[in-house]
Chains A and B, each alone.
Chain A
């Protein structure tokens, strides 16, 4: 099991004499005990990617196998915490090495000392299957942690602790299997991050992930259990959009993976999340959030691992029966980590230097999303939806990471630097974006909000498309030369763009828009369009309509009317109808 270092090149090393080692096993390297993972084996030579800085590593330094693959520790105490790419708590690292991260050994994800109030849900003599809930812990005010029987164990409960306070390593339940084997169960369980956790069966998506962002919920909705990509050049607002989703989406658990991104941006997340409160319970949103922060200057191998760490944690909470939303910012940095490591391995590159296995790795990741029925006998349904930011070089969407991500995700929110430059945020381009879930989710909107939803959405999209076509003509002849009906389309499209598509994340009212408000806003704009269309058909000049002060009122709904004051929109609608009636009367 003990080998010796025979080559060092940046984060990739080789060791010989590694006889009993298996692929993806975790090893300890050198005196400092650096953590590494076996990524290639040939004879007794192992290639290892090291998750910490390799400075000072020498020829013939010892390499020891640990017998287990790269794993995360699962149990209460994950929520509200901040981890690096290999799930080491950053707070613990700060206590041990100060403000700068230096090599350190033996850091675990979960505290071994902290006691949790455990409430058993089984009693001696009960028969349990893998995945059954054996007890609960109120992990935070927002999330009840459900302790599950490991998937490969079933049998009879032969002992169970009474309700009380226990650490994660205390034995809480003993299960005797049919073959007589006894297994002690702790709250602490481990799971290899690269392997998907098992479930009973996949279900189809049916509920939207409500994000409070109009362009997303109304136009390009994401489903709980779905997957989305946000590609955009730098400065287009990827990170702000991701953070808005993390703050406002109605998932039970949020996992935010900051993968190879800016340190100061991570701090913004770390500072702002604890201050945000859950609209229904009033508790800090941090209590449902796990942050994984592997900034761009932290080791590249840990960046590669961070995505898997994130999704493994997501699966754990999914199996408890929760809707989990995972944000990865940015998957391009992760792909670049793959490329960097692949280059160090001297592998044959495919497109733009990326390894040829990039698409299969992306597929493996996005396929871990979905709505599932969890293992166990109580038919719990949980889901994971993943939103991956993509940072295409030069904003060119034809590059490999964007292209392959598009293949494996169903929603595509194309960020546009032209919109961002005009400070149209979120800069999601309505012509290039799409959502494959509109049909699946219409039912929910019709039942919960209004049965007109799908029609209204479609009409608004048609107006925007018509505007897109007219824009080319306007470029040639100017807007004044168009007939009134077409100028109305331009005007309505402008209102849709400013009043609905643009949303100010920094404005206290506008940052979250409830589904009902979204629909009412859409409806009032379309009502305006119909009323205006009617008077234009009767010969009223368009300038009379564009001069109506109600337009500005509509534009300011987003910031002036709060989510619980929606009757004010009806008042505006009423006034608007009166205006149009007067216009029509004056024509006669």
Chain B
């Protein structure tokens, strides 16, 4: 680190006027800037990191990342560093496991540090952004066909406690590729993850050899919650370095955003801030945006940042503030359903509520196939018909249905069992996926396929599989 030119960084302030939750208030400090980093030395010599979160006329409030457990109000020494929190960034961080401050915790020696960067970054100028339009093949039909992911997109997975989102995320990390063949660098950010979940991911990366391309930032369930607020920012700072300085394509997997938001609420309430919905702070939208909006592409740069945040919806409620605010910032969502999971369908993607906003420009002739857009619109519409027919069956029984509704029932079952359902190791190409989609659509009469251009029906409609012979 370069020696500081200001003398104030050597001043130490003894004691704290108050300690409450993760916040300490230090009095009579001078020349301290907002958002500045602080070292807090405890009575037994341990150093903790903190950040200035409020400047008041006679004191400053410092948020201590490792928590205030065991701090005494008289025997601590606080030093301010005249700079915001920075983390080391380096291409050597790929293949390594770090804590929230970018320090290695895998027992191997420290990597060579290319440079240090402010974890908050700066907002990307909208006119410098490049519109994402390169299709990423995940090998998972439910995503590739119906909620296609493109480079530079942020597409979250909305899951529920106990659903198979971890398996899905691991499979995406293993299989994701651009059709031209470039590999992704993966940044895996764990926030409040259980130890066994973290081990599952690590094992899954090791088994397939992807680990050398993965930088893991771990904040586990038993780590201090306040540290969780910086974990995603640390990971994204490395992502920006890799993407925009080193021309890499980076896929950032963040799990679990619900734990992040809980930590945000904890800090907010210990600051005695006015809460908004369900006790979450009023600035949660802006705060989440400062994370999610770091996905993207920049004109004239080769690299890209694609985000796949995972969150567990409390009580499977999609209107809960965490999924709700996330959905308003991200470009779509992949929603997992408990009902499908119970039927043994993996991945249990509920396409009715899933969506990819950037799909339209990433698919079609030249990137996937000419009929992709038509097929996916038709599948969505037909699946909605299937659900309507299914609810009719519960009232009047299958016998009471007209032929049209019966066709939809067959379609829906085939769709769930063959298109959505696949093996954990099954990596389908987009052509295979579309083939299965046409098999499903061919269970319907051609007149029902109003979203598809006649020439595609002519070309791809599977005449044999239609029981009515149309």
Q: List residues of chain A with CB under 8 Å of any chain B CB.
A: 5-10, 16, 53-59, 82, 90-91, 93-94, 97-102, 234-235, 258, 260, 262-268, 270-271, 293, 295-300, 333, 336-337, 339-340, 342-343, 346-347, 349, 352-353, 391, 393-396, 417, 421-424, 475-480, 498, 506, 552, 555-556
Shortest distance in angstroms between B153's beta carbon and chain A's nearest beta carbon? 7
B-side interface size class: 35 or more
Known interface pairs A82-B127, A90-B125; 14 further A-B residue pairs with C-beta atoms within 8 A, sorted by A's residue number = A58-B32, A235-B327, A262-B331, A263-B124, A266-B129, A296-B286, A393-B324, A394-B319, A395-B319, A421-B352, A421-B353, A421-B380, A422-B381, A422-B384
Q: Which residues from chain B contact A556 at a C-beta distance below 8 Å?
A: 450
Chain B residues at the A interface, C-beta cutoff of 8 Å: 29-36, 53-57, 84, 120-132, 152-153, 244, 273-277, 281-283, 285-286, 289-290, 293-296, 298-299, 301, 318-321, 324-325, 327-333, 352-353, 355, 357-358, 360, 373, 377, 380-381, 384, 391-392, 395-396, 400-402, 447, 450-451
**Most chain A beta-carbon neighbours within 10 Å: one of B123, B275, B281:** B123
How far, in whole Å, are A468 and B395 apart by their CA atoms in the complex?
19
- The CA-CA distance from A55 to B130 in the complex, in Å, is 28
User: Is B285 a contact partner of A423 (Cβ separation < 8 A)?
Assistant: no
Assuming A100-B122, A394-B318, is B130 touching A267 (CB within 8 A)?
yes
State whether B55 touches A7 (Cβ < 8 A).
yes
B123 touches A298 (CB 8 A): yes
Q: What CA separation (Å) do A417 and B352 show in the bound complex?
A: 10
Residues of B within 8 A of A394 (CB): 318-320, 324
Query: Which A residues lie within 8 Å of B377 (CB)?
Result: 423
* CB <8 Å contact, B283 and A343: yes
On chain B, the residues within 8 Å of A57 by CB distance are: 33-34, 55
- Interface pair A101/B57, CB less than 8 Å apart: no
> When A300-B286, A340-B286, A353-B277 are in contact, do A56 and B131 touch as well, CB less than 8 Å?
no
Chain A nearest CB: distance from B355 CB in Å? 5
A292 to chain B, nearest CB (A): 10
How far does the alpha carbon of A333 sit from the alpha carbon of B357 in the complex, in Å?
Answer: 19
Contact at B329–A478, with CB atoms within 8 Å?
Answer: no
B276 touches A295 (CB 8 A): no
For the complex of A and B, the 9 pairs showing the least CB-CB separation, nearest first, are A394-B319, A296-B289, A353-B276, A422-B384, A297-B293, A100-B122, A99-B128, A55-B35, A8-B55
Contact between A235 and B333, CB atoms less than 8 A apart: yes
* Interface pair B381/A93, CB less than 8 Å apart: no
Of chain A, the residue at the smallest CB distance from B328 is A234
Q: How far is the CB of A300 from chain B (nearest CB, A)?
A: 5
Q: CB distance B285 to A336 under 8 Å?
A: yes
User: Is A498 in contact with B450, judged by CB distance below 8 angstroms?
Assistant: yes
Please name all residues of chain A whose beta carbon is closer than 8 Å to the beta carbon of B402 when the two chains form the complex.
478-480
**Which listed residue (B121, B328, B329) contacts A100, Cβ 8 A?**
B121
A264→B155 CA distance, assembly (Å):
12
- Most chain A CB inside 10 Å of its own CB: which residue of B125, B283, B320, B325: B125
On whether the beta carbons of B55 and A59 are closer than 8 Å, the reply is yes
Complex CA distance for A90 and B299, rounded to whole angstroms: 14
Which residues of B have CB within 8 Å of A476?
A: 395
Kindly identify which residue among A59, A94, A271 contacts B30, using a CB–CB cutoff of 8 Å: A59
Neighbour of A264 across the interface among B327, B331, B353, B360, CB < 8 A:
B331
Instruction: Judge whether B273 and A264 touch: CB under 8 Å.
Output: no
Q: List 15 A-B contacts (CB under 8 A).
A: A90-B125, A100-B121, A100-B122, A266-B129, A267-B127, A267-B131, A293-B126, A297-B286, A299-B123, A339-B276, A342-B274, A343-B283, A352-B277, A422-B384, A480-B402
Q: What is the minimal beta-carbon distance from B382 to any residue of chain A, in angstroms? A: 10
